Amino acid sequence: MSKAEGRTSEVVLIASDFRLQTLYQKLMKRYFNIFILLLVTETAIAIFHFHKFIRGFVGDLLVIPTLYALLRAVTPLSGKKTLCIVMGLAFSVEVLQLFSIADMLHIEHKVARILIGNTFDGWDLVAYGFGILPVLLIEKFKSHGTH
């Protein structure tokens, strides 16, 4: 291979890498925008005390897509890995609530107690399970190029 051919292939690789980085940055921005929208929704649900079904079930359901969008925005993890991490985290926090982890750790900060939670509820686990569905649907449509 001549020097000119070698340089040409290097330029093609650099251009290809730049396009991949640009695409990745666009995806990260899209996931971050989704995260912000879901976070605002979750905050509104918490502040305005909607019906207990909305606050208790829909709010918990939205935890999964919210955390998923955040992780996809800030990490290069695949969708499957991200979903596994999010579900593991959500289920772990809920199980820790069963053991009153906030009380065991003597957490007094109001926001921290809200984030950790202080009451185990099996229905939260059901809500987290349903929270997977919008993530799977969006990722399925995205992978088929119909987003």
Report pLDDT digits (tens) over 67-111: 999 999 999 999 999 999 999 999 999 999 999 998 999 999 888
Measured at the CA of 29, the angle between CA 134 and CA 63, to 5 degrees, comes to 35
Question: Is residue 144 classed as helix, strand or coil in its secondary structure?
Answer: coil
Task: Tell me the whole-structure pTM to 2 decimals.
Answer: 0.77
Contact present, 128 and 60 (Cβ < 8 Å): yes
Of 4-8, 121-125, 134-138, the one with minimum mean pLDDT is: 4-8
Amino acid at 84: C
Mean pLDDT of 3-29: 60
> What is the rounded distance in angstroms from the CA atom of residue 59 to the CA atom of residue 53?
9
Of residues 15 and 46, more confidently modeled: 46
Report pLDDT digits (tens) over 22-59: 656 777 889 999 999 999 999 899 888 778 888 889 99
